[in-house]
Structure formats: C-alpha cells, structure tokens
Amino acid sequence: EVLLVESGGGLVQPGGSLRLSCAASGFIFSSYGMTWVRQAPGKGLEWVSSISGSGGSTYYADSVKGRFSMSRDNAKNTLYLQMNSLRAEDTAVYFCAKDIRWELRMGVFDGWGQGTLVTVSS
C-alpha cells in the first residue's frame, strides 16, 4: 500500500524559507514521478511542481518558479520541496502525490499524503 507522509510545514514570516519533506513507502520510489499540489484554505487544488523518477527533470508552476526547488533522494525514499521567499499567497496545505508513471506523460496522481500546512504570516 502506498504511504506518503509529509512534514516540515509551519508558520513562517513573509520572505522566509521552509523545506517540506515527503517520506514514501509501499512502492518502488525511484520508479515513479512525484508531484506537489497545494490547496489554499477553502480553495481548490493547485499544481506546484513535479519531478521525474530519476530526478533529472523538474517542472514548476509559474507562481513558484525561481522561489521553490523540488528534489528527491531515491536512496532515502524521500521527496523535498525547498520554499524560499515565501509570500502570504503561498499559505496552503501542501500534498505530495505519486504519479502512475516514471517520467513521460506524468500527470495521473494515484497516491496522496495527508498534507502539511504552511502558513505565511507576520
């Protein structure tokens, strides 16, 4: 069974940084692309970033490009999202999600973590 557990969320001031982690188990982590999706309070789902199974390809939403960096450690079965220059509009629950594919034609998310809340406020 796919298990994804996010951590690292919390309260941070505007302009600050946070690093989210997502510990994966129950599947061969390196064989699948991974994604971060966020959900602002009371709002819908917003794709943030994706990474291929090898980690060689990364993709970012325009809203976070240049501020966020996604990476993975396949030896530790862990996904990361480094978030810098945080803004109030980044306040959201951040979910990590497993793709059904390794690299090509990613975009089907068949396993999700429970989410971690990031609050950007002074």
Among 29, 32, 36, 60, binds other proteins (CB under 8 A): 60
Pick the piece of the chain touching other proteins (CB under 8 A) from 15-23, 70-78, 82-90, 106-114.
106-114
Residue span binding other proteins (CB under 8 A) among the ranges 10-18, 66-74, 77-85, 109-117: 109-117
User: Using the rule CB under 8 A, is 47 a contact of other proteins?
Assistant: yes
Q: Residue 87 Cβ, how far from other proteins at the closest point, in Å?
A: 18
Residue 36 interacts with other proteins (CB under 8 A): yes or no: no
DSSP for 8-52? --EEE-TT--EEEEEEEESS-GGGS-EEEEEE-TT--EEEEEEE-
- Determine contact, residues 121/88, Cβ cutoff 8 Å: yes
Q: Cβ(6)–Cβ(116) under 8 Å?
A: yes
